[in-house]
């Protein structure tokens, strides 16, 4: 009853889905082994040394209650204000706290009191571990569909991340709209989530375990493209994707022929349609990607190399936090008439999985919500 009054005070009432998700992640799941499918268990992937070091400093109790999807770490973070949607036990927040530095700030928002209790318990521990004089991390109880009602200001964040959480919301468009609202101009929504090969049946969407396991609420990937455009974001840029295997006969029978992938997309709050194609030269100043910056599955920028970009990418680079990391020149500029051509643009995560499988058989198979704690990242 207290939770209901709290929600009413914020102008947002729990739906049945919210209640079920709170119960699943606040009571039913106490550790990773409680999960009912492999959707939340990803294969180990190489992690940059500086991120691995940051993860190693996160308290083991925080990582033990982590149910995220992939590794959500965009580039160029120093001094940024970051919001983590569905921050859970706070693992990503504490990892990012180190990457933004003492002058940056990370806010986590979650609706589950049990998860927030774990996250808040270790604020002082982590600030002492990081050597910070005052906390640069805070946690807010609220709904990702109602960020402003939870007290988050409009146009106040440089970056929003989300780690296998948007699928748990019953209103994905509202989540995207709220994210767009609290992002600064030039800001980015960088998130990993589960996507389906088609629109799911009502039976699947009403299955409590499948919803809790990040499958029942998965968006058809084409609907993400549509919703992002309706909200105002630039077209989603696909970064990476991997196949999800369920390996649970009972759940597989309910899912039928539907397939699922874990995919990471970048969405930007930048002007659309007004920027011309150009050539760009990466200066190599972004931490961790000094020699080569893989922006998405289409564009990789090698230091000092001239690359041709279309108007959409030119708008993203010139209006976002990456502007100072590139030199811009018109096509046929002083460095030569031709720049490096990008790969073919891919927005379908299932198509990307097939390409990755051809390049390295077996590399595109796995789960989604990696539990890569400090221990398994050593």
Predicted pLDDT at 293: 97
196 and 300, same domain (yes or no): no
Q: Say how many domains are in the chain.
A: 2
SS3 content of the chain, % helix, strand, coil (to 5): 35, 20, 45
pLDDT at 67: 74
Go through 287-312 and write b for each residue having 16 or more CB atoms within 10 A of its CB, e for each that does not.
eebeeebebbbbbbbeeeebbbbeeb
Q: 125 and 173: one domain? A: yes
pLDDT by 10s per residue, the chain, length 378: 333 333 433 445 556 666 655 565 555 545 555 555 556 555 446 788 999 999 999 999 999 888 765 678 999 999 999 999 999 999 999 999 999 999 999 999 999 999 999 999 999 999 999 999 999 999 999 999 999 999 999 999 999 999 889 999 999 999 999 999 999 999 999 999 999 999 999 999 999 999 989 999 999 999 999 999 999 999 999 999 999 988 889 999 999 999 999 999 999 999 988 889 999 999 999 999 999 999 999 999 999 999 999 999 999 999 999 999 999 999 875 555 567 888 888 999 999 999 998 887 655 544 444 333 332 232
Cβ–Cβ < 8 Å for 175, 166: yes
Is residue 130 domain-shared with residue 261, that is, in the same domain? yes
Distance (Å, whole) CA 294 – CA 6 = 43
111 and 247 share a domain? yes
Question: What global pTM score does this model have?
Answer: 0.87
**What span, in angstroms and rounded, lies between the C-alpha atoms of 264 and 290?**
22
Answer yes or no: are the C-beta atoms of 368 and 69 closer than 8 Å.
yes
- Look at residue 337 and tell me if it is in a domain: no
In the chain, the DSSP E strands lie at 81-85, 105-110, 137-141, 157-163, 183-196, 219-220, 237-244, 260-268, 278-282, 292-294, 300-302, 306-309, 326-329, 365-366
CATH number, residue 306: 3.40.5.100
Tell me, yes or no, whether 298 lies in a domain.
yes
In a domain, 358, yes or no: no
- Gyration radius of the chain over CA positions: 20
Q: Which domain holds residue 163?
A: 2-271+364-377
Closest residue by Cα to residue 226 from 247, 205, 195: 195
Report yes or no: 11 and 145 within 8 Å, Cβ to Cβ: no
Residue 88 confidence (pLDDT)? 93
DSSP 8-state assignment for residue 25? I
199 and 101, same domain (yes or no): yes
How far, in Å, CA of 216 to CA of 255, rounded? Answer: 9
Whether residues 212 and 227 fall in one domain: yes
Q: Do 190 and 97 belong together in one domain? A: yes
pLDDT tens track for 324-374: 999 999 987 555 556 788 888 899 999 999 999 888 765 554 444 433 333
pLDDT at 127: 98
Contact 358, 351 (CB under 8 A): no
Residues 167 and 311 in one domain: no
Q: Is residue 344 part of a domain?
A: no
* Domain identity same for 163 and 303: no
The verdict on residue 77 lying in a domain is yes
pLDDT in tens, 79-133: 999 999 999 999 999 999 999 999 999 999 999 999 999 999 999 999 999 999 9
């Amino acid at each position: 009853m207290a939770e209901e009054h709290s929600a009413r005070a914020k102008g947002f009432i729990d739906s049945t889905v919210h209640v079920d998700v709170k119960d699943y992640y606040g009571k039913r799941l106490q550790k990773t082994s409680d999960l009912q499918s492999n959707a939340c268990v990803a294969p180990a992937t190489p992690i940059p040394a500086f991120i691995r070091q940051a993860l190693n400093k996160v308290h083991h109790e925080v990582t033990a209650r982590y149910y995220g999807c992939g590794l959500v770490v965009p580039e160029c973070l120093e001094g940024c204000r970051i919001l983590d949607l569905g921050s859970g036990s706070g693992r990503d927040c504490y990892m990012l706290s180190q990457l933004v530095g003492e002058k940056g700030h990370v806010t986590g928002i979650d609706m589950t009191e049990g998860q927030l209790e774990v996250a808040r318990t270790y604020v002082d521990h982590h600030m002492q571990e990081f050597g910070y004089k005052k906390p640069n991390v805070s946690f807010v109880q609220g709904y990702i569909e109602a960020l402003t009602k939870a007290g988050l200001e409009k146009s106040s964040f440089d970056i929003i991340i989300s780690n296998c959480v948007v699928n748990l919301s019953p209103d994905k468009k509202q989540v995207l709209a709220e994210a767009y609202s609290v992002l600064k101009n030039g800001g980015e929504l960088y998130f990993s989530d589960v996507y389906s090969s088609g629109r799911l049946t009502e039976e699947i969407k009403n299955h409590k375990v499948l919803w809790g396991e990040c499958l029942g609420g998965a968006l058809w990937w084409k609907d993400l493209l549509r919703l992002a455009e309706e909200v105002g974001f630039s077209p989603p840029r696909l970064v990476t994707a991997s196949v999800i295997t369920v390996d649970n006969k009972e759940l597989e029978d309910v899912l039928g022929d539907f397939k699922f992938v874990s995919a990471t997309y970048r969405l930007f709050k930048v002007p659309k349609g007004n920027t011309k194609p150009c050539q760009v030269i990466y200066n190599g100043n972004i931490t961790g990607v000094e020699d080569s910056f893989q922006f998405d599955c289409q564009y990789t920028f090698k230091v000092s190399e001239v690359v041709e970009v279309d108007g959409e990418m030119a708008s993203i680079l010139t209006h976002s936090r990456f502007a100072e990391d590139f030199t811009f020149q018109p096509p046929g500029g002083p460095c030569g008439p031709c720049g490096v051509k990008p790969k073919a643009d891919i927005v379908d995560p299932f198509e990307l999985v097939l390409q990755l499988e051809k390049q390295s058989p077996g590399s595109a198979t796995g789960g989604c919500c990696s539990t890569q704690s400090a221990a398994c990242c050593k």
